Structures are given as structure tokens and as C-alpha cells.
Structure 1
Amino acid sequence: MNRFKLKISLFDWTYIALFGTVFSFFISLFLYFLNDALREFSTIVFSMSNAVFITLFSSLFISLSNHFLLPKIDEKFWMFISFIFSFLAGFLGFIFSYYIFSLGEFHIIKFIQPYWLYIGTVVGFLTFLIGLILHQFISMKYKNEFISSEILESKIKALENELNPHFLFNALNSISELIYVNQKKAEKATLDLSDFLRNAITRESLIELNGEIKMVETYLKIENIRFDNKIKLYTHIQESLKPINIPKFSIQLLVENAIKHGFNSKELTINVDVNDRKIEVSNDGILSDNVTFGTGLGNLKKRLELLDIGKLSYKKENNKMIFIIHLKGKK
């Protein structure tokens, strides 16, 4: 069941209140000019009280049906239930207002007393029509938002699926070679690869920083089979930032990029520094004269934008190539 169909935001309630206000205005206008005896302030107050009680009953019935009733019944009965509640909101709102004002001496009550049941029924049907319009408007609004969200998620998943095919092929080749040299290491590497892939295939596009760092460490264990443990990783993470969520494979991709473009057959040191909502991945390897955002870096840049997490930049400093993910602050 699509929960978005039952979702009503605080902003949507303003539409309901606005329609109630407009509804009461037209009722008061109609009654005010219907009879000379009704041209008094109490007529306007009675109409406004109608709007208030109709809005309150609408809020009550919408909340009850959306949270407790509609999720438990077949969707084909939703319209019928909504019809009943929309009608009752108007009918009971009018009856409640009529009852309160009947406790006093008002011309409006004396005027409508012979017809109160008929008027209440008409008001109920009018609120049903208004409720139907609001239902269609809000439903269409959230349906469009749901579709947009699905398209965005599809784009992100498509980008994620572009990642790591070469790493997987290289890892399998390394393990196959290691089997003939050191079976225990080959077994350990296979378990590391399994652990990496288990984390990689999760549905979440955002994971905790701590989880991403563990994936990077596992990734380097596997890569160091090919590089004879010449890749060294050092992490410096601000404690308060460890639980923050970042795009999956973001740091891993920058580490992979550092190995691919920075390794020069000597020991390569990679530092990951996380501080002040900035993730810096630096290496002391080969300095690239011309940095281009190809498949990997371009992929990360797009995912940061689509997820509205931050942006990617780079700089050269102290003979080091540094890539920086600038994370947005909390909204």
C-alpha cells in the first residue's frame, strides 16, 4: 500500500483551514442578506463557528481514518469511507454549532430552527464536495512527489551500479593467483571480499561514516594483495562526525582513485581526514597535472548533488593531491 496516499502535511492543513474560512464567509454572506432580521454580528459569528467546528471534525475524521481505519481496509473502499467522513464533518459541525447557539437568544437560530436538519444535511453534502476536491488535489500532489522521488532513487541506484566492476575483477584475479601461493591468505581475502560485497549490496544509498571507513579498510586489505601491502591508510575522524550519513562508496571511490592515479610502485600513503563537515582524502603519490572528473569522480559528484549532501572539489598542497567532500550542514 502506498503510504503517500494517506499523507497530509502541515501545509496541507492550511488548505483545509482556508477552504473552511471561505466556506463560512459565503454562508455568512448568504444568511446576512437573506433577511433583514439576520443582519447582525451574531449571524457572522454563527457562520464562523460553523467553519471552526467543521474544520475540527474534518481534522478528527481525517486523522482517525488515515492512521487507524484506511490502512486496514481494501483501497477500493477508501472513497466510500471518505464520503461518509466528509459528510459527517459538515453535518456534525453544523449541528454542534447550532446546538451551542440554541442555548442563547439569537435571530439566526429562530430563523433556521424549522429547517436545521435539512440545512445540516445540505452542509454535509457541500463539505463532501469540498473534501473530494481537496482529496484529489492532495493525492495528485503527493503522487507527483512520489514519482519524482522514485525517479531520483533510480538515478542514484543506476550511478551506484556503475561502481567497482574493475575492482571486483582485479580482486578475483588476485585471489585466484594467491590460491597457489598461500591458501590461508587466499581464504582470508575471499572472506574480506565477501564482507565488502555484503556491505556493498545494501539498498541504502546513505550509510554512516563509520561503516564507510570499515568498507574502505576491507577494500584496501583486498587491494594490498596486488600491491604487496604498499598501500598505507591513516584515518583521522572527528568523534562527533562518526555517526553522520554519507553516500555509500564516497570515500572508497576517492581512495580507489588515489591508488589508480597516485601509485608509483613505491609505498603510497593515503590519509582520510574528517573535520568540520569536510572529508579530505589525500595521498603522497603522483601529482596529476590535469584532473578530470571521469566515470568515478563524475559519478560521486552527481550522487552528492542528487542526494543533496554536498559537493566535491580538489586541490594540490604540500606535494599532495587532496580531494574534498564538502558536506552540507544539518537542515
Structure 2
Amino acid sequence: MEHSRIAVAGSSGLIGSALVRSLRADGHEVVRLVRRVPGSKGEVRWDPEGGTVDAAGLAGCDAVVNLAGANVGSRRWTEAYKTKLRSGRVLGTTALAKAMASLPPEERPRVFVNGSAIGYYGETGERPVDESAPPGEGFLPSLVVDWEGAAAPAQEAGVRTVFTRTGLVVAREGGAWGRLFPLFKAGLGGRMGNGRQYWSFVSLHDEVAAIRHLIDRDDLSGPFNVTAPHPLTNREITEAMGRVLRRPTLFTVPAPVLQTVLGEMAGDVLGSQRVLPTRLSESGFTFAFPEIEGAIRAAAG
């Protein structure tokens, strides 16, 4: 990709900050969407919950990447927090899509990469699913369906639109593994529930590389599962963490305890999602860390 101008919403989050570093390292100009008064020409004001964005700031950008949204796993899913999870994603995506559609055709971004999640599929048990599978049932699947649907104004305006259905990102800096690493390093790690539930993971390196791949390829649109090709059970991942970090994994967190501590969100930890990156692999993308041990080592650094 030639040096491009790329707008990133959610640029301070785990994936967003890594993406910004990667783009800038290769000489691309990054425009960060911020919720405060912009402090430089490299920033654009927006209010995702309020559904507003300075459309003029997106004019002339080659791509818009939306990774914004409150952290699904950061706290219990109270009704108020579920509303916050939904509004930030759905209203924010709608605002960006409408802003792009409002621009003259020659100033519109050529691609909109909208963050999404494998939560789309709901509980899959041991059954592997790819992008051809329908949405599941429950809060997360309905949220993801509405989240992706909110991009419609951009699609209808002719902007190539991609949805990155991301799995559990293996990274020290945040997400599920941001909590797991300290526990395992302290020798307090162990399986969750019966350990038979599948976790579809992806290294932070591959997550960023996949987003850049999807920006670059003008022939790709629609949903892409951004997960490593070999999802494993929680028990297998626990054992891999123990091997890489050289710590015992004797502890077990029983399902009832997780349900008490996490509430409805426990279903996301105890639930099984065996998700395959069929479309990403078919597009020629190569994973640097297709196996869990390599992903853990890369994150442990």
C-alpha cells in the first residue's frame, strides 16, 4: 500500500493503538477520532454515543477503521452497561457510515473496516463455524447483528465495507489475556468451568496484520473471522499457558463461581465458540502465529 491517510476510531484501545503504531511505522498518516476538542490536525472530533462526527475530517481519507466501543469483558453486564455497549457500537458506526455517505464521491474513503466480534455466532459447542453460519441467539449475537447493520449507509454509498469478527486477542496489554497473564505468572492459573469450551484466539500481531490486509485488498468485503485457524479448548489453552510460562495450572474456577462473579457475562467465558477464519485464509492471508504457544510467546515477549 502506498502512503495513505487512514482514520482510526478507538485508536487508544488494545487493537487500535497497535494498529496506529504499525501504520505510522510504515509511513502512513493516521487521523485519530477523539471525543474531546482536537489538539492537532491529525485529530477529528466525534461523539459515538451521541451519534455525531465531523465528516469534513474524514474527507480525503483512503480508509476509515472503526474499533471503538466499551469493553465487553470489563465489568458485569448490568442493563445500564448493556445499553452502553450497544449505543457506543451501533450509534458510533451509524455516525461514521452516514458521515462517509455525506461526502462528495471523490472525497469518500474507499474502504470502511468496521470492528465486529465472533459473538455474532453465539454458542457453537464443538461445531466449527465460519462466515457462512447464521447469527446465534442472545445479547451478544443481537448486538453484533445491529452493529454490522449500522454500516449500511456507507455500503449503500458505494464504500467497500469489511467486518472484522475478532476472537479473543492474545496480548499482555488488555483484553481477556491481559487478565490471564498475571494470574498464570503468579501460579494461580487454571481452567474455567469444565475446560471443554472452545476459545477462538488470535495474536495481536495477526489481528493488526489482518486489518491491514483487508484495507489493502480492494476485492474483499463483508464479514471476515479474525481468529487463528486452530481454535482450542480452554483446558488446552490453560495447559499451553502453563508450558510457556513454566507455571503450574492446578487451579480451577468452577462455573457457579464465574456465574456469581461475572453474572450474564459468564456465558461468554464458559460458552464455546469454535470459529474458523475461512474467508481470511482463502484470501491469501498468512498467520504469523497460527498456534497458541507461538501466540502466547509473542505476547509474553
TM norm structure 1: 0.19
More strand by share: 2
TM norm structure 2: 0.21
Name which structure has the greater RCO, CA cutoff 8 Å, separation 6+: 2
